[in-house]
Amino acid sequence: MRGSGLLLVAAAALAGAVVAEARLVAPTVSDAAIQQDGYPRTLEEFGFFIHADAQIPTLGVVPYELNTPLFSDGADKLRFVYVPDGTAIEPDGEGLLQFPVGSAIIKTFAFGEGDERQLIETRVLLHRADGWLALPYRWNEEQTEARLALAGARVPITTPVGEEISYRIPNKNQCKACHSKDGEVIPIGPKARNLSAEWLSDMVGAGHLAAVPQGADILPDWDERAEGNTASLARAYLDVNCAHCHQPGGGASNSGLDLRWEQDDLYALGVWKPPVAAGRGAGGHAISIAPGDPDASILVYRMNSAEPGIAMPELGRSIIDPDGVEVVSRWIDQMDGAEITQ
């Protein structure tokens, strides 16, 4: 028994030593790589991950999920945020979040599951003293390294529904196109209304968030779209997938459409609204949203197309999202045109 006990003690000591060694060699986030001028050539230089290929974050890098995610050709997305020590995210009206300088938002796009999972790209959004900077990093075929891809890239991919596509890693300017408001790059994903109350509370407890935002009207869980409120689901989908451009100050503000969650003006949302310029993107339809008639609505027509020049959103997808089309179509179909006057 004594010998067995000594072996157990020795084993425990060895295990403790292994853990201690792992902690010593685990990378720490490089605040210099985030904040200083220049573009790090590899993702590894940031120190966001202990094991990048397995997407295991290092200390201080926190994973998060969105209630209603952005559709990107069916890619699985692994999301993380980093806030430097001694700072905290601040709530800022309507449940939005203000990240301190030195923060980073990290998002990896992957296809497949388990041993078949393939990491395609990791996009980082860095908050520097002069504003936010968006950079794309492409993973190599061996899944050992992600290198800066300022010019973007094309990668052949099989989507979850079996479609063969040429997946587009956006170039630096295309990243800016989606993340731009009033000419400045901003985050568009991790808004308080699109995060769980539990996650926000945990961030406060960890000192990463100054306070749980108050008054945020939480977006619905997209995974529950079959039984959820259709109007809420459709509005959330448009907010997440379209409103980064279709809002005042956004890249498509000249369209007159404002698809933000908080917008309550039906005309601004597109109800009975004719297009600003009726080109081929309108598909011969006269109204953005025709109550009770999704087939006559430009919004659905463009969502239901993968053809360049017609498809909306213009960037970020090359196939149609059938779930998004179904929910938005159902919402429009349920509108009572007799009650919604022009």
Three-class SS string for 165-206? Answer: EEEEECCHHHHHHHCEECCEECCCCCCHHHCCHHHHHHHHHC
pTM of the model: 0.86
CA atoms within 13 A on the CB side of 10: 6
Residue at which a domain ends, from 216, 243, 267: 216
Give yes or no: residues 33 and 104 share one domain.
yes
Residue 5 above 60 pLDDT? Answer: no
Query: Average of pLDDT values for 181-187?
Result: 72
Residue at which a domain ends, from 216, 233, 261: 216
CB 255 within 8 A of CB 246: yes
By percentage, how much of the chain surpasses pLDDT 90?
A: 66
**Which pLDDT band, with edges at 50, 70 and 90, does 13 fall under?**
very low
CB 128 within 8 A of CB 34: yes
For position 23, what pLDDT does the model report? 46
The tens digit of pLDDT for each residue in 23-70 reads 446 679 999 999 999 999 999 999 999 988 999 999 999 999 999 999
Give yes or no: residues 62 and 203 share one domain.
yes
Task: Quote the tokens at residue 35.
Answer: 């904040």
Least confidently predicted of 111-125, 168-182, 214-228, 273-287: 168-182
Q: Which domain holds residue 249?
A: 220-342
Give yes or no: residues 109 and 164 share one domain.
yes
The count of other CB atoms within 10 Å of the CB of residue 98 is: 14
Give yes or no: residues 301 and 332 share one domain.
yes
| DSSP bridge partners of 77 | 109
Give yes or no: residues 129 and 202 share one domain.
yes
In sequence order, which residues have a C-beta less than 8 Å from that of residue 8 and are 6 or more positions away?
A: none
Give yes or no: residues 128 and 275 share one domain.
no
By CB neighbour count within 10 A (0-12 exposed, 13-18 middle, 19+ buried), where does 115 fall?
Answer: exposed
Query: Average of pLDDT values for 303-315?
Result: 89
Question: How far are the Cα atoms of 217, 251, 289, 334 from residue 261, in angstroms, in the given order?
Answer: 9, 17, 16, 19
Query: Average of pLDDT values for 152-160?
Result: 92
For position 201, what pLDDT does the model report? 94
By CB neighbour count within 10 A (0-12 exposed, 13-18 middle, 19+ buried), where does 24 fall?
Answer: exposed
For position 284, what pLDDT does the model report? 87
Domain count of the chain? Answer: 2
For position 313, what pLDDT does the model report? 85
Residue 16 above 50 pLDDT? Answer: no
The tens digit of pLDDT for each residue in 85-133 reads 999 999 987 667 999 999 999 999 999 988 889 999 999 999 999 999 9
Give yes or no: residues 71 and 172 share one domain.
yes
One-letter amino acid at 85 equals D
By percentage, how much of the chain surpasses pLDDT 70?
A: 87
Give yes or no: residues 188 and 228 share one domain.
no
Query: Average of pLDDT values for 128-157?
Result: 95
| DSSP bridge partners of 138 | 121, 147
For position 27, what pLDDT does the model report? 77
Q: Is 63 part of a structural domain of the chain?
A: yes
The tens digit of pLDDT for each residue in 192-215 reads 999 999 999 999 999 999 999 887
**Which pLDDT band, with edges at 50, 70 and 90, does 290 fall under?**
very high
Residue 231 above 70 pLDDT? Answer: yes
Residue at which a domain ends, from 196, 216, 236: 216
Q: Is 17 part of a structural domain of the chain?
A: no
Give yes or no: residues 138 and 91 share one domain.
yes
